[in-house]
Amino acid sequence: VEWEWFPKLLETIETVRQPVVAGIKGAAPAGAFELTLPCDIRILGSEASYGVLEVKLGTFPHGGGTQRLARLVGLSKAKEIVLTGEFVAPEEALECGLVHEVCEPGAVDERAKAFADDLTENAPLGMERAKRLLNGAFDVPLEQGLALEESLGRELDDTRDYREGIEARLEGREPTFEGH
């Protein structure tokens, strides 16, 4: 099977402007596990089989599993997950920050949709810039990241959404963001 499309799919998930929420219900080993790593939010079913097992198959996770996983959970935990080739228990996945929530298997879709719906209430320009900077947070020195953060933040000072957010807060109402 040719897999040239897989890295591009993962990059698209990671770089799309909107936050991406993954609902993981059942078995998500190997490539399916790696498919969830660039997602911004991961909701895991309490009975899911979730992890990388490639070292037990004569290879290693090479769809982002060594790089994205280490950035999510830290190097030591990523080594444990990758080198043992064992599934990660749902409670452990939650504890180490690999997933954001664990719920009953039948509630995964509902919880993932609810999380996504909640995100749609936030300012799209702010979320897009925050996502971009968070994804690149470990790629640049702190000073450079802080300067970029300030610069991109100032770009939003004159937007309709920023004015709406401030006005709504002062008026005690929910803001209506339009993405400009």
Residues acting as catalytic residues? 34, 54
Q: Which long-range contacts (CB under 8 A, 24 or more apart) does 1-4 make?
A: 3/63
Q: Is 8 left (phi over 0), alpha (psi -120 to 50) or beta?
A: alpha
| 119 Cβ contact partners less than 8 Å away, ≥ 6 residues apart | 18, 19, 21, 41, 127
**DSSP designation for 121:** T
User: What is the rounded distance in angstroms from the CA atom of residue 127 to the CA atom of residue 38?
Assistant: 16
Tokens of 9: 């799919």
> What is the sign, positive or negative, of the torsion defined by CA atoms of 60, 16, 144, 163?
negative
Half-sphere exposure of 29 (CA within 13 A, CB side): 11
Angle between helices 142-155 and 124-135 (to 10 degrees): 170
